Structure 1
Amino acid sequence: MPVNTEQLREHRSGSRAWGLVLALVLLAFACLVSLWVGAKGIPFTATWDLLWHDNGSSEAAIIQDLRIPRTLLGLLAGAALGLGGALMQALTRNPLADPGLLGVNMGASAAVVIAIGFFGLSSLTGYLWFALAGAAGAAVLVYVLGTAGRGSATPERLVLAGAAITAVVFAFVQAVLLLNPLTFNQFRFWDVGSLASRRMDVVTQVAPFVVIGVVLALSQARALNALALGDQAGKALGAHVGRTRVLVAVAVTLLCGAATAAAGPITFVGLAVPHAVRLLVGPDQRWVLPYSMILAPILLIGSDILGRVIGGAEEVEVGIVTAIVGAPVFVLLCRSRKLARL
Structure 2
Amino acid sequence: MTATATASNLRGLWLLLAAAALVVVAALSVAIGTRDVGLNDIVSALSGRVGTIGEAAVAMRIPRTLLALLAGAALGLSGAIMQGVTRNPLADPGILGVNMGASLAVVVGIAWFDMASAYAYIFTAILGAGAAAVFVYAIGSMGRGGATPLKLALAGAATSIAFSSLVIAVVLPRADIAGGIRAWQIGGVGGATFERIGPVLPFLAAGFVLALFSARRLNALALGDELAAGLGENVAVARALAAFAAILLCGATTAVCGPIGFLGLVVPHLCRLLTGSDHRWLLPFSALGGAGLLVVADIAGRILARPAELDVGIVTALVGAPVFIWIVRRQRVRDL
2 CA distance for matches of 1:83 and 1:194? Answer: 18
Indicate whether 1:307 and 2:304 are aligned. no
Distance 1:181 1:87, change over 3 A: same
Which whole-Å CA distance do the structure 2 matches of 1:131 and 1:51 have between them? 33
Amino acid paired to 1:91? V
**CA distance in 1: counterparts of 2:188 and 2:161, whole angstroms:** 24
Please point out which of 8, 11, 15 is paired with 1:13: 8
Distance in 2, Cα, partners of 1:34 & 1:206: 21
Cα gap change, 1:207 to 1:152, in 2 (>3 Å): farther
* 2:281 maps to 1:287: yes
1:296 Cα offset (Å): 0.9
> What does residue 3 of structure 1 align with?
none
| Whole-angstrom CA distance in 1 between matches of 2:155 and 2:322 | 29
Matches within 5 A, 1:13-92: 13-54=8-49, 56-64=51-59, 66-92=60-86
Cα deviation for residue 130 of structure 1 reads: 3.6
Q: CA deviation at 1:15?
A: 0.5
Query: Is 1:184 the counterpart of 2:178 in the alignment?
Result: yes
Q: How does 1:224-303 map to 2 (within 5 A)?
A: 224-303=218-297
Aligned residues: 336
What are the Cα deviations for residues 20-52 of structure 1, in whole angstroms up to 9, with x where unaligned?
000000001111111111122210243133212
Q: 1:123: how far off?
A: 8.8
Unaligned runs of 5+ in 2: none
How far does residue 119 in structure 1 lie from its aligned partner after superposition? 3.8
Cα distance, 1:240 vs. partner? 1.4
**Aligned equivalents of 2:318, 2:139: Cα separation in 1:** 34
The answer as to 2:101 corresponding to 1:107 is yes
| 3-state secondary structure, aligned to 1:99 | coil
- The residue aligned with 2:89 is 95
Q: Which moved more, 1:182-191 or 1:247-256?
A: 182-191
Q: Does structure 2 retain, via aligned residues, the 8 Å contact 1:116–1:187?
A: no
Residues 318 and 160 from structure 1, CA distance in 2 versus in 1: closer, same or farther, beyond 3 angstroms?
A: closer
TM-superposed deviation, 1:312: 1.2
In the alignment, the residues of structure 1 paired with residue 141 and residue 198 of structure 2 have an alpha-carbon distance, to the nearest angstrom, of 34
Unaligned runs of 5+ in 1: 1-5
Secondary structure (helix, strand or coil) at the match of 1:118 reads helix
Separation in structure 2 between the aligned mates of residue 7 and residue 200 of structure 1, nearest angstrom: 47
Q: Contact (CA 8 Å) 2:41, 2:55: kept in 1 or not?
A: no
Alignment RMSD, CA only? 2.8
Contact 1:98 1:271 in 2 (8 A): yes
1:195 is paired with a residue whose SS is coil
Q: 1:120 Cα shift?
A: 4.5
Q: Which is further off, 109-118 or 226-235? A: 109-118
Match of 1:174 in 2: 168
The one-letter amino acid of 1:315's match is E
Contact persistence 1:303–1:318 (CA under 8 A):
yes
Distance 1:45 1:15, change over 3 A: farther
Structure 2 Cα separation of the partners of residues 139 and 160 of structure 1: 13
CA shift, 1:60, in A, is 3.2
Which string of whole-angstrom CA distances, capped at 9 and with x for unpartnered residues, describes residues 210-254 of structure 1? 111111111111111111111011111222100011101110111
Over the matched positions of the two proteins, sequence identity in percent amounts to 46
TM-score (structure 1 length as normaliser): 0.88
The code of the aligned residue for 2:313 comes to G
Query: Which secondary structure does the structure 2 equivalent of 1:76 belong to?
Result: helix
Q: Could you say if the C-alpha distance between residues 56 and 129 of structure 1 is closer, same or farther in structure 2, counting changes exceeding 3 Å?
A: farther
Distance in 2 between residues matched to 1:157 and 1:298, nearest whole Å? 32
**Further displaced range: 134-143 or 85-94:** 134-143
Q: Distance in 2 between matches of 1:159 and 1:96?
A: 7
Give the partner amino acid of 1:305. I
Give the counterpart letter for 1:86 in structure 2.
A
Structure 1 Cα separation of the partners of residues 183 and 17 of structure 2? 35
d(CA) in 2 for partners of 1:198 and 1:124? 13
**1:267–1:163 Cα change, 3 Å:** closer
Q: Distance in 1 between matches of 2:67 and 2:50?
A: 24
2:191 matched residue in structure 1: 197
Contact 1:143 1:153 in 2 (8 A): yes
SS in 1 for 2:35: coil
Alignment deviations for residues 232-290 of structure 1 (CA, whole Å, 9 cap, x no partner): 11111222100011101110111111111111111111000101111111111111111
Q: Which amino acid aligns with 1:340?
A: R
